Structure 1
Amino acid sequence: MSGHSQFKNIMYRKGAQDSKRSKMFSKFAREITAAAKIGLPDPAMNPRLRTAILAARAQNMPKDNIERAIKKSQEAGGADYIEVRYEGFAPGGVGIIVEALTDNRNRTAGEVRSLFTKYGGNLGETGAVSFSFDRVGEIEYPLSAGSAEEMLEAAIEAGADDCESDAEAHWLTTTIDAFSEVQAELEKKFGPAKSAAIGWRPQNTVEVDEEKGEKLLKLIDSLEDSDDVQKVYANFEMSDKVMEKLSA
């Protein structure tokens, strides 16, 4: 049950600044609408929708916004979002996976390609990066939920693959198949998770220095600012000192 995920460096996570909150809610709403349209509009019967709502609530998205996004999925003539994935490389050979929900594939592809080029990277073929990542379920609990020992024991009993605790949170990893079951078991004991989602976890990481790290973080920031982009994953590792300097 041990590992070296170094979550803070592997997947760059921006804080939920007020200036980003509106855009963040828009992304949550798009995922909720897409999930409700693909499956049933009832979260009890739709695991993807349930996970999307959980993620939105964890960031204090208003209940009205969530209900409006679900209702939108049932409206005639509403946008049909297509799930697309782009894979490419940033300076220094860092692999990046971009997941998007779009109603215009050509527009999104052009924007993503342009951003990679702008910051010294390049898009690759599908599979060029994802083969070096694992598709996993990730569940995050605040430290207040329980001790590291309690969380580890509960993770093992629930069927999780990995459980790590650091100074910020408890991080659990599951297989895709076990994700919903593990999430439900942990919720019985600790309440709703801070976040829970299916994501990409790199098998190995690439160390980047300040020069390459600056371009990399600008690329990730720009991709995340795109309305169509839902999530960005990268297999980089950066020292805390460099990360703090570039994130300031």
Structure 2
Amino acid sequence: MAGHSKFKNIMHRKGAQDKKRSAMFSKLSREITVAAKMGMPDPDMNPRLRLAVNAAKAQSMPKDNIQRAIDKATKGEGENYEEVRYEGYGPQGVAIIVEALTDNRNRTATNVRTAFAKNGGNLGASGAVSHGFDRMGLITYPAAAGDAEKIFEAALEAGAEDVSSDEDEHEIWTAMDALHEVAKALEEVLGPADSAKLAWRPQTTIEVDEGSAGTLMKLIDTLEDDDDVQTVWGNYEVSDEVMAKLG
């Protein structure tokens, strides 16, 4: 499918974040608490919470940490977070969507705006770039879950809309409102996914050259390092050759 590789480039930050497990666990805990507050504190009765818990487990987050995050919601403890989305442009006109959970909109907006400004981009108004993306469900499995044919058949049976596989992982795309049902059906066949979340899938992509790629990666790193930022999506593609030079 067109523009597939940019998601691997987007998520290549996972390797860097593995070195910052405390920060990663904090973001996962925040999502669990918010999900539990918005619905039932039981993952079996709350689809969003179930996805959040599964995502935490996929990152080897301790069970005690997961339960504490749920308990915060049931006991009314902790901050009240709200979901905020920021949109802007990076180097070479790359469209970027930033999703955050924050208890202080002014702080988060300032940090995001500064990250764009210092790394070759600029923050736009709400809706500036999201019209160029489709809101969909994205479920990922490691390559070890099975070969491409097995995953494709399982995804088709579960009601998915698109599948893409490479040597590292399988990406399964669903309609936004079918994410929970498809994820549950796949889990029964393939086991827990590495991740299952709502995603922004670009309708077209931009090939980023070597001169801009380093600055773009720094912008994404800076955004993802912010405690309030949960996910960063973009419509860029970076070739394997350029990525290798970036290290």
TM value normalised by structure 2: 0.95
Match of 1:153 in 2: 153
Structure richer in helix, relative to its length: 2
Per-residue CA shift, 1:92-149, capped at 9, x if unaligned?
Answer: 0000000000000011001100111111210111111111011111111122222211
Match of 1:100 in 2: 100
- The aligned runs of 1:181-196 (5 Å cut-off) are 181-196=181-196
Q: Does 1:5 align with 2:4?
A: yes
Per-residue CA shift, 1:181-206, capped at 9, x if unaligned?
Answer: 11111111111112111111111111
Match of 1:81 in 2: 81
Letter in 2 for 1:164: S
**How far apart, CA to CA, are the structure 2 residues paired with 1:209 and 1:35?**
39
Match of 2:27 in 1: 27
Cα drift, residue 12 of structure 1: 4.6
Cα drift, residue 10 of structure 1: 5.2
Answer yes or no: is the 8 Å Cα contact 1:12–1:234 preserved in 2.
no
**How far apart, CA to CA, are the structure 1 residues paired with 2:178 and 2:124?**
31
CA RMSD of aligned residues (A): 1.4
Gaps of 5+ in 1: none
After TM superposition, where is structure 1 displaced by more than 4 Å over at least 4 residues in a row?
A: none
- The aligned runs of 1:170-185 (5 Å cut-off) are 170-185=170-185
Match of 1:199 in 2: 199
Match of 1:133 in 2: 133
Gaps of 5+ in 2: none
Match of 2:220, SS state, is: helix
**Matched pairs, number:** 246
Cα drift, residue 154 of structure 1: 1.3
**How far apart, CA to CA, are the structure 1 residues paired with 2:165 and 2:153?**
12
Match of 1:225 in 2: 225
State which drifts further: 149-158 or 105-114. Answer: 149-158
Q: Percent identity?
A: 62
Match of 2:60 in 1: 60
Match of 1:42, SS state, is: coil
Match of 2:15, SS state, is: coil
**How far apart, CA to CA, are the structure 2 residues paired with 1:3 and 1:18?**
29
